[in-house]
Structure 1
Amino acid sequence: METALPITAQVIADVIGTEKALTLARATQCRSVYIPQRLNPSHWLVEVVGTDAAQKLIAEFPSCCLPLAKCSSVVKAKRNKRIAELSAEGLTVAEIARRLGINKNTVQTICYRMRFKNQ
C-alpha cells in the first residue's frame, strides 16, 4: 500500500510528479516555498527540480507561497520498499547502504523489521 502524501505536497505532486515534490520538500526542509513569476535559469528551484518542473510550477502557481508539509512517512516508505527490492536481489546490507547513501545500521534495522513482520 502506498503512503499518501500530505494534501499540500499532493497539490505540488499533481503538477510536477511525486519524486520531484519529495525532492522539493527535502530541499526546503518542508517549509513554505515561494514560486517566482518568471524563471531565471540560475534560480535554486531549477537546480532542485529541473527546468521543466520549475516552469510547470511557475505556470500553475506564479508569485505564490506554497506551504510544504512534512513528507517523511512517504520518503521512509519509498526507502524501505527500495531496501526490500535490493535485498530480494541478493545485495548485502553494506551494498544496499552504499547504493542508497544511508547508514548500514539503518538498512540492517529495516531488513530485520521486514523479516520479523513477515514471520
Structure 2
Amino acid sequence: MATPVGKLGLPPVLRTIADAAGVTAALKLAQARGGTRIYVPRRVAEGHWLAELIGVEAARQVAKMYAGENVLIPLGLTGTVQNARRVARQALDEGASVTQAARVSGLTERTIYNLRSREGGGRQDDQGDLFGE
C-alpha cells in the first residue's frame, strides 16, 4: 500500500507536485533543485531537464500545475544541517556559485548567502579592494 502524500509531511509545493506527478517525482525534484527557484515551461519536451529528471509524463503533470511560473522548490530530505553546510562550504571553496552550492548541499540560496557572509567575511576572493591596498 502506498503512503498517502499528506502523511509524508511534505511542504505544500512538494505535496502539490506529489499529488500531480507522484511522490518519487517530488522527492527527486527536491533533491536536485531544493532551495532554488525553477522556471516551469508551459510545454515540456523530451529533452528538457525536468523531463530528464522525473520523466516526461511527470514533468508534463508538473507543467499543468505551474505552467509559465517560477517556483521555489522546498528542501527535500537532505540529511543533517551540519553536513549540508559542510557540502555548501566545500562547493563555495571550489568556486561554485551560490545557486550551485544550494543545489549540491540541499540548502536554500539565502542560507548559502548567510553562510558565506558569516564564515567568509562576505567578500569574494576575486573582488577588488576599495582602497587598493
Structure-1-length-normalised TM-score: 0.55
Tell me how far 1:13 sits from its aligned partner: 1.1
Residue 63 of structure 2: aligned partner: 58
Residue 105 of structure 2: aligned partner: none
Tell me how far 1:3 sits from its aligned partner: 3.9
Tell me how far 1:9 sits from its aligned partner: 1.2
Residue 34 of structure 1: aligned partner: 39
> Contact conserved, 1:25 with 1:31, CA < 8 A, in 2?
no
Equivalent-residue separation in structure 1 for 2:12 and 2:30 (angstroms): 13
- Structure 2 residue identity aligned to 1:22: L
After superposing on structure 2, the runs of 4+ consecutive aligned residues of structure 1 that deviate more than 4 Å are none
Residue 105 of structure 1: aligned partner: none
The structure in which a higher percent of residues are helix is: 1
- Greater relative CO, 1 or 2 (CA 8 Å, sep 6+): 1
Residue 97 of structure 1: aligned partner: none
What is the aligned-residue RMSD (CA, Å)?
2.4
Please list every run of 5 or more consecutive structure 2 residues that lacks an aligned counterpart in the other structure.
1-6, 81-133
Please list every run of 5 or more consecutive structure 1 residues that lacks an aligned counterpart in the other structure.
77-119
Equivalent-residue separation in structure 2 for 1:49 and 1:30 (angstroms): 18
The correspondence of residues 12-91 of structure 1 with structure 2, limited to 5 A, is 12-72=17-77
Equivalent-residue separation in structure 2 for 1:29 and 1:11 (angstroms): 15
Deviation track 1:77-98 (CA, whole Å, cap 9, x = no partner) reads xxxxxxxxxxxxxxxxxxxxxx
Which residue, 5, 11, 15 being the options, matches 2:10?
5
Equivalent-residue separation in structure 2 for 1:21 and 1:38 (angstroms): 18
Equivalent-residue separation in structure 2 for 1:5 and 1:61 (angstroms): 18
Q: How high is the sequence identity, in percent, across the aligned residues?
A: 28
> Contact conserved, 2:34 with 2:74, CA < 8 A, in 1?
no
Structure-2-length-normalised TM-score: 0.49
- Structure 1 residue identity aligned to 2:70: C
